[in-house]
Structure 1
């Protein structure tokens, strides 16, 4: 017992709040036959990415996708069959697009009537049948082999919900048979969802450049992961051929995809003279893990400077990492992130040092 009148020491250890365990999830950046990208519009009441446009995907399920290593195991944050099945299942549930081969891995993509898809989406969403069992019943095989890993994102500590999200690219064949679901998404039709529209209101394919322009016009909200990945894709997926071009359409889009594949496979992942010496430059895009860290607020416009090189608390001290060369500038507000921009890290930090030096010089006058 402390003597009367004695106050508790201010140096007593404070209880440290343990950050929530990241939930395993996966998403697909889906390319149409004309290299447009599919984004889904989330409702404003959504508990994650409210009102934003996001890639199709969601949380993994032991029932549908299989089990993962336990929390604390680094392999929990690695690409695996469970992540791939979850990505394909969630894409089907949310958009109706079925990335499944008929009869086997070498078969054509399965094209089911819309009514049959919607019935299956509801049954899978409600847990009345596992995704795997349903695939067996229709003679389908999930096309996991054609998913291309393209970064993993680990939510930083300090947020109420955290995810370890494996991102994939999937390129629909340049020649596909008529598909009513794809046609609806290309015309921005409403996509009936098994949850009755509680999370997703619409699915739409558009050019990468158009998606990147729309936030600036106040038409859509893109969070930093989506904006950053679309920015990388915009280097290669530049839209339709120029008017008067003699290049056949299929060759045009095929060439774009080939340049993208080379980019994804090339190590080092940067040509910047300083960044090329950073360890993250030796990590291919398939294996990069990104947990954004705020370096500070930009002097000129108070946008946050998000560094992308750290892999997150769960992988601290490992050989994992993201992208040192680039940062995302973004303004966070009640309405979501705005004014996003991808810039070179060194360029931005030099600007900040120069601005600080000018302020200090001015204050001495």
Structure 2
């Protein structure tokens, strides 16, 4: 299966006027492939040196991968027919097919949201080995010696886990067989996933993805029971086929290493033989616009896990032994982001190449693509100075995906809603105190 975990962008080579976002005619547009990705957070017992009490899972795409080679991405990929098979899941998730999704996910029915969540959990299992399960009932736990289904799976021999990963990768229907093997009523942990963001590849491209990003916190059953028990770091591994490493990074570490990669490319263009490294000497990484943007907002606005959580979940995160379920991230309204490519002036008056997102003053809206409410809010408000964009380098020959210099979001919460507060990272076109780059 093809697994584009995210929707990195490819720039058009056509010339563009300053402040004018690129658009495309309706006919001839490629239909985007539906996919899901999971932003997975692992709580920590103490804060990191850069001030976070959690880390985020990123997988490095293999150098020979068909999509976005060597980039760091969240686990995820294309939706599989089994994810969409409501009859196959009916015993675990009985639902009314006519029900609509929550108001924070406009345009999605409950069944569509369920399919996307199943995809995210299945793909995370295939690509990282982490199998996220709902808490089991007391009777089900009694059948496995008092262990929950999650704990029973965590105790499986490594070779057995690998075998299941390979089987599910070959045939998505085996995912249901795996759940049945773990016990009656065992199901993927859909209740812990919050719909967080949606990125759709620009209309000018021949190959497009409609990627729904979910965010979740590792459940307490992954917390080590003793100093020698497995941790979140040892419970994940790359699949060796599409990914070559599995890394837990703080958002600030990820942004810093991505900025080092960009600065390395810039230095190389100036004939430098030693591109910059990060402050800690860590290897620079590639983050495409969606991943860079999502990590930057975590770095700017959520150094504490509690700031992301529903009020009741914060207490559960502080005392995991008292709660079997994972803490749940507070929802926000998900707006479809179809980036438009433009030449703009940044906050320091420099002409830059950028990908523009809804809410930005330069964004060209189109009716019927899920942005009608945003358009109405923009029209009702006279407020200017809105920015929702990433500054990018012009693509090199043969390059797939844009190289991000920085991202900036300002003054858009009034049109996008709560959860879309200001943030920035890298060279965002706004000076930071002391010349720092988030």
One fold, TM greater than 0.5? Answer: yes
Offset from partner CA, 1:299-332 (integer Å, 9 cap, x none): 6253324233478886256447899653222224
- 1:176 pairs with 216, 223, 246, which one? 223
Aligned residue for 1:300? 350
Once residues 259 and 344 of structure 2 are traced to their aligned partners in structure 1, the CA distance between those partners, rounded to angstroms, is 20
Residue in structure 2 matched with residue 242 of structure 1 by the alignment: none
Q: Deviations over 1:85-128 (max 9, x none)?
A: 10000000000011123645995634133222110011111117
Shift in Å, 1:345: 6.8
* 1:339 aligned to which of 405, 409, 413: 405
Partners in 1 of 2:254 and 2:392 — Cα distance? 16
- Does the 8 A contact of 2:149 with 2:182 survive in 1? no
Distance 1:316 1:82, change over 3 A: closer
Structure-2 separation of matches of 1:223 and 1:328:
10
Q: Give the conservation status (yes or no) of the 8 Å contact 1:148–1:286.
A: no
Q: Which residue of 2 aligns with 1:287?
A: 334
Secondary structure of the residue aligned to 2:134 is: strand
Question: 1-side partners of 2:244 and 2:131: how far apart?
Answer: 18
Is contact 1:74–1:314 with CA below 8 Å preserved after alignment? Answer: no
Match of 2:295 in 1: 230
**Match status 1:83 vs 2:83:** no
Of Structure 1 and Structure 2, the greater strand share is in: 1
Distance 2:191 2:256 in 1: 32
Residue 357 of structure 2: SS of its match in structure 1? strand
SS at the partner of 2:206? coil
From the superposition, tell whether residues 33 and 258 of structure 1 become closer, same or farther in structure 2 (CA, over 3 Å): closer
Measured in 1, the distance between the counterparts of 2:355 and 2:238 equals: 38
Aligned position for 1:213 = 256
- Seen in structure 2, the aligned counterparts of structure 1 residues 325 and 341 have a Cα distance that, compared at 3 Å, is closer
Distance 1:57 1:119 in 2: 19
Aligned mates of 1:36, 1:261 — CA distance in 2: 15
Higher RCO (CA-CA < 8 Å; seq separation 6+): 2
Number of the residue aligned with 2:75: 56
Partner of residue 171, structure 2: 127
Match of 2:391 among 324, 329, 337: 329
1:137 is matched with: 181
SS at match of 1:41: strand
Q: Which of structures 1 and 2 has the bigger CA Rg?
A: 1
SS at match of 1:28: strand
Q: Structure 2: which 5+ runs fail to align?
A: 1-24, 45-53, 88-96, 98-105, 142-147, 262-283, 312-330, 379-385, 413-421, 423-427, 430-438
Task: Report if aligned partners of 1:146, 1:170 keep a CA contact under 8 Å in 2.
Answer: yes
TM-score under structure 2 normalisation?
Answer: 0.57
1:156 aligns with 2:202: yes
Asked if the contact 1:151–1:288 (Cα under 8 Å) also holds between the matched residues in 2, the reply is: yes
Equivalent-residue separation in structure 2 for 1:31 and 1:16 (angstroms): 39
Number of the residue aligned with 1:315: 369
TM, length-normalised to structure 1 = 0.67
In structure 2, relative to structure 1, the CA distance for the partners of 1:76 and 1:221 (3 Å cut) is farther
Question: Which residue matches 2:11?
Answer: none
Over aligned residues, Cα RMSD in angstroms? 3.8
For structure 1, list consecutive stretches of 5 or more residues without a partner in the other structure: 1-14, 239-255, 264-283, 353-365
Give the distance between the partners of 1:227 and 1:326, measured in 2 at CA: 13
Question: Partners in 2 of 1:203 and 1:312 — Cα distance?
Answer: 39
Q: Report which stretch shifted further, 152-161 or 80-89.
A: 152-161
Residues in 1 aligned to 2:115 and 2:357: alpha-carbon distance in whole angstroms: 29
